[in-house]
Amino acid sequence: MHNLRTGVKLIWLPVIAGLLWVSAAAFVAGRATKQGNAVPATDTIPWPASFGLGKAATPAEIKAWDIDVSPDGRGLPAGQGTAAAGKIVYQTKCAACHGKTGEAEAGVKLLGPALVSDSVFVGRKGNTIGNYWPYASTVFDYVRRAMPYHAPQSLTNNEVYAVTAYLLNANKIIPANAVMNAATLPRVEMPARKYYINDDRKGGPEVK
Amino acid sequence: MEQNHETNNSKPAKLSRRKILGGMAAAGILYIQTSLGKTLKPVLPAKWRKSDTSPNDLITPGPGPSKVGGRSPYERPQRLPSDISSRTPLQDLLSPITPSDLHYERHHGGVPNIDPEKYELLIHGMVDKPMKFTLRDLKRFPAVSRICFLECSGNFRSGKENMTAQEVCGLTSQSEWTGVMLSTLFREVGIKPKADWFLAEGADAAYLTRSIPTSKAWDDAMIVYGQNGEAIRPEQGYPARLLLPGWEGNMNVKWLRRIELSDQPFMTREETSKYTYPVKDKIRQFSFEMDARSIITSPSYPAKVEPGWHEIRGLAWSGRGKVTKVEVTTDAGRTWQVAQLQEPVLSKAHTYFRLLWYWDGSETEIASRVTDETGYTQPTLKQLVDYRGADMGGYHLNPITSWQIKRDGSVLFKPESRK
């Protein structure tokens, strides 16, 4: 340390100051453009344009991992299903935790939550797909990624479409003969959606 | 050590028994080191063989150094587990850092076992260069450490008097986290201008997902692999998790495997049917920040107090910045006194507060309320019910917590009705 210190001659000071100024300017610019070229102003060495770490992900790698579905239908796979087919899937794979029909039963403690009710939000007893869920795409996405609890991702896409159709029909949202697929599922309107509002609190004295 | 030092380098006028023992021990060690294998059993006068702390026991050497230490057998702080979560014993902690093995848990599909050599993080979607990073890659990026709390947004229980601070609000804990700023990785892959949201996905059995505004990445989000100086615990997301300082626990996705940039939120199950709550006749969604909150942890149930001087102690925190003030009442809310804050007061961090209190033996109630740097003051349960309605669910509740002091010195939680 001592050698290093004495080795820094005064002549270098303007250069060091210049480097610091450049890093600070790059930091401010990065923040302003929101594009994340931010370089911490406190770093002693200017950051490279890229650290050269990691590797490019191939389209096949992305496809293998990317299973999410958006409300507009992005991410929905090929395949289809109806409530009738879904009822069989439900009874074999879901009923053990969510009850015979998916409805809450008096005096029965279910392992999983009840999923089925009417679609009336006000005065409901417990949140279900019918009275609380705002998007049908979420039913497909969640069943495909996380259900059944003890064997997630074991259902085929057709089975997921079918059990989604069963649940939407049981909650009186779609008719019994409706076919659920990548085209029809995003068009299903959920009764509870109109109740959703974004939290707009930002701190301050008000209690909301 | 100090004792040996003194004995070796000075001639105290009056030698205490402890000092002589220290000197003998030092001499014994010296002899063993130089005599190569010969053992020496120092013969001490019988009156010196007694332990100070246990007068009936002979002094015998304790266990030597070990590879991994443990707690004193007299200290047994424990989490309080249910099927899906475990709670931090707030009443047993002495300062703001939560020991890693007592950090609260909330799992949606159990704790996965992930081989760090096989771990990969995928970043894709609305980016210039979709990329995969190994754990080694993450650790090579410039690193940052930060102390902050993590709290589950469903962290309020009530209903009976025999409840500990752990039961009432033990789903909050604090660690020093180490990792790479998310902005550093986003800079590496290049984020498209319209990518206002990103999805974070875990590698647990639930493949838990949450949508997060990209602005949080430019602010203070991190991907962390270190917790309190070592690799993060499996229950906290080993080998790497997302950390969103101040934001509700489940968004800090554990066992992070994938980030997808998008122009819209994905409306996952955890941000629609869960972690939302009725407010009046609406459902409030995307409550990110944890509201300012405090709780007295000492004295608290099941402690018993005696008349005389006590120091009231507790925790205060805010997901919106620093704690600026904690007030404590010892007369059931009639008057409030400003408590001492333990420095350093960090942003979005558990902060200890302390207030001296003389208990005269009469029945009373004690409680604390925090104010944060936005000017927000912790509300009463009644204030929350008045605005949100009695059907307000269990998320983002941060009411002032009162403890009843009974005449016999017992300390009981004060459950309050929502109606």
> Which one of B83, B145, B273 would you mutate to disrupt binding with A, by most A Cβ within 10 Å of its Cβ?
B273
Residue B52 C-alpha, separation from nearest chain A C-alpha, in angstroms = 48
**Are A68 and B124 an interchain contact pair (Cβ–Cβ within 8 Å)?**
no
Q: What is the pLDDT of residue B59?
A: 86
Of B131, B187, B262, the CB nearest to A38: B187
* Chain A residues inside the 8 Å CB shell of B216: none
B57 close to B50: Cβ distance less than 8 angstroms: yes
- Identify the CATH class of B80-283: alpha beta
Residue B183 C-alpha, separation from nearest chain A C-alpha, in angstroms = 6
A161 close to A46: Cβ distance less than 8 angstroms: no
User: Which residue from B minimizes the CA distance to A69?
Assistant: B266
Q: How many residues does chain A have?
A: 208
User: Which residue from B minimizes the CA distance to A197?
Assistant: B284
Q: Which fold has domain B293-413?
A: Immunoglobulin-like (2.60.40)
Quick one: B299 exposed, middle or buried, by C-beta within 10 A (0-12, 13-18, 19+)?
buried
Phi and psi, residue B173, nearest 5°: -150, 165
* Chain A residues inside the 8 Å CB shell of B191: 35-36
Q: Which of A97, A93, A110 is nearest to A144 (CA)?
A: A93
* Chain B residues inside the 8 Å CB shell of A123: none
pLDDT in tens, A44-91: 889 999 999 999 999 999 999 999 999 999 999 999 999 999 999 999
Phi and psi, residue B72, nearest 5°: -55, 140
Q: Where are the domains of chain B?
A: 2-48, 80-283, 293-413
Kindly state the percentage of chain A with pLDDT values over 90: 76
- For chain B, 419 residues long, the average pLDDT of each consecutive 10-residue run is 38 43 42 43 54 70 95 97 97 97 97 98 98 98 98 97 98 98 98 98 98 98 98 98 98 98 98 97 97 98 98 98 98 98 98 98 98 98 97 96 98 94
Distance, in Å, from the CA atom of B413 to the CA atom of B419, rounded to the nearest integer, reads: 18
CATH superfamily of A59-195: Cytochrome c-like domain (1.10.760.10)
Q: Where are the domains of chain A?
A: 10-48, 59-195
Q: What is the pLDDT of residue B419?
A: 79
Give the mean pLDDT of A159-164: 98
In this structure, what DSSP letter does residue A155 have?
S
Phi and psi, residue A199, nearest 5°: -65, 125
B161 close to B365: Cβ distance less than 8 angstroms: no
**Are B137 and A53 an interchain contact pair (Cβ–Cβ within 8 Å)?**
yes
Q: Which of B95, B177, B179, B116 is nearest to B142 (CA)?
A: B179
The interface pTM score, or ipTM, of the predicted complex is 0.85
Give the mean pLDDT of A185-203: 98
> Which one of B139, B272, B324 would you mutate to disrupt binding with A, by most A Cβ within 10 Å of its Cβ?
B272
